Structures are given as C-alpha cells and as structure tokens.
Amino acid sequence: MASELRVNTLKDAAGNNSIATSFVAGGSAKAWAFTNNTGTTINDSFNISSLGDTDTGKQLLSFTSAMGNANYMSQATANSSQNDWGHAGSITKSTSQCDTTAYDAGGSYADNKMDSCILGDLA
Amino acid sequence: MASILKVDTLTGVTTAGSISVTGEGNSTTTNLQQGLAKCWFQIVQDSTHSINDSFNVSSITDAGAGETTVTFSNAMANSDWSGVLTAQSSNNRRAVNNSPNTTRIKVEVYQVSTNTSGADATSGVSGTVQGDLA
C-alpha cells in the first residue's frame, strides 16, 4: 500500500545528523545521464525521456518531468581517455531540455560520450 | 507544526530502493535514491594527491601526471553512471572521466593547449557521481 509521510526534518535514530526535508528535495539531482558518443544511446539516466543528436559534438537531453524554471545548474564532462572536454546548457537550456556540447583538445566540436547532471527546482 | 522523524534507514514500501520526494514546485515528485549523489570529492593533485573532503571514497591513488584514481567505499552497480568533474585551476586545466567502472572513477586532467600530456590540477578537482549503487 502506498504511504505518505509529511515531515519537516530527518534525523538518525540517535537524534543526530539533522537535515531539513527541503534540503533533501533541493539537494537531489533532478536529472543525470551517461550517453554514448553519437548522441543516439542513453546508457543510463534519471528523469531523461529522450536524447537527440543535433550535430557533431552536440546532444540534446529532454526531461521526463519538467524543471520549474531555466535557472537550474547544468554540468557535463567528457567521458574520455584523452583531452576532450564539454559543458552543458550553452545552446539550449529550457524547462524541458538541456544540451551538452563536446570538443576535442583543439576546440573543435567532436562526438564524445558525455556525463551530465542537473540540479535545480522541479516544476 | 514542526515535525521531526528520527530514523536510521529509509526504505520504500512498494520498492525498497525507490522513495518519492515532492519537488519544489509542489506538483511533481522526484526519486530520492536516483537523485542522491553516490559519491563526491574534492581532491588536490599535489605531490601526494590528497583528499580535502569526500563522500563514499575509501582512498585515492596518484596514477600519474594529472591522473588520480578515486576508489569508492561502496561499489556502483554498473559502469553506466555519470561522473561530472571540474578542475579548479587558474592555469587552463580541464578534467575528464576515463573508463569508468564499478569500483572507481579515474580522474584525468589535461592542460588545454596540450593534446596528450596530463597535468596536475594543484588547486584541486571536484567531482560528483550519479548512478545506481550495487
């Protein structure tokens, strides 16, 4: 049977390590993904409904549950064995989608496996 | 009225590893277990490679110039987790997550202008791991 618990603060059984439930909701990642280099496969993810390959080095993540605004924190890192790099939210950053962009060492767009993470407010 | 729950372990009723938390907008729920970082760290790639602070890290190893192996205390369930890294440097460094597996994240830092040579981020590297615990 489903159950719902309404509480302001969580503590361990000894009464230590107190944390407000607002920190539990606010501090949890609202989406994350590990995608393949061509932007066609989501290896694993949370709150990601689909992945788009928009151009060389450019991928587009769509959220299952929308964010409350576009002011969320977005980060991406190249999952690579060489000097590739990337970032998130530079081209598309909306309540429903966020892009990732990857580059090679010389700064040219390059397909790459990407690790990404979103923190912020859900709608 | 303020309320406090004292408990050591939270477990889902329908699925043990799945608990819903109401989001900030009060209209959507998010999954507690999936949203929690399974590991985070702030390390320094100095002469000894040291941990300033961390969660779910048992040890780190200097694996070469710009390379640090960060070993998890509790392993991940698979290698498909997301590891986001930032090199804290004033000297054009960037970090990648190389060949993830269930037991560790291998941090590799490069200097922007160099194609192949690793370079220590002496001011530090920050990282988080999102995914499924074993």
**With contact defined as beta carbons under 8 Å apart, do B85 and B77 qualify?**
no
Residue A92 belongs to a domain? yes
Quick check: B36 and A29 CB within 8 A?
yes
Q: What is the CA radius of gyration of chain A?
A: 17
Task: Answer yes or no: do B84 and A28 touch at CB < 8 A.
Answer: no
How distant is the Cα of A53 from the closest Cα of chain B, in angstroms?
Answer: 19
Comparing CA positions, the residue from A100, A99, A74 lying closest to residue A85 is: A100
Give residue B112's pLDDT: 82
Cβ neighbours for A16, distance < 8 A, ≥ 6 positions apart: none
Q: How many angstroms away from the CA of A70 is the closest CA of chain B?
A: 13
Q: Is A108 inside a domain boundary?
A: yes
What's the confidence (pLDDT) of residue A83? 87
β-pair type (B4-6, A9-11): parallel
In eight-state DSSP terms, residue A84 is: -
The answer to whether the beta carbons of residues A86 and A100 sit under 8 Å apart is yes
Instruction: Tell me the CA end-to-end span of chain B in Å, nearest whole number.
Output: 38
Residue-by-residue pLDDT tens, chain B, 134 positions: 689 999 999 999 999 999 999 999 999 999 999 999 999 999 999 888 999 999 999 999 999 999 999 999 999 999 999 999 999 877 788 999 999 999 999 999 998 876 667 889 989 999 999 999 99
Which ipTM was obtained for this model?
A: 0.90
Residue range(s) defining the domain that contains residue A97: 29-119
Phi-psi region for residue B49, left (φ > 0), alpha (ψ -120 to 50) or beta?
left
In a domain, A80, yes or no: yes
Structural domain includes residue A1: no
Q: What is the pTM of this model?
A: 0.93
Residues on chain A touching B115 (C-beta within 8 angstroms): 82-83, 105-106
Per-residue pLDDT of chain A (123 residues; tens, 9 = 90+): 678 999 999 999 999 999 999 999 999 999 999 999 999 999 999 999 999 999 999 999 999 999 999 999 999 999 998 889 999 999 999 999 999 999 998 889 999 999 999 999 999
Q: Which has the closest alpha carbon to B37: B6, B78, B76?
A: B76
Does any domain span residue A13?
A: no
Tell me, yes or no, whether A59 lies in a domain: yes
CB–CB of B40/B54 below 8 Å? yes
pLDDT at position A3: 87
Asked whether residue A24 is domain-assigned, the answer is no
Is A5 within a domain?
no
- Looking at the structure of chain A, the number of domains it has is 1
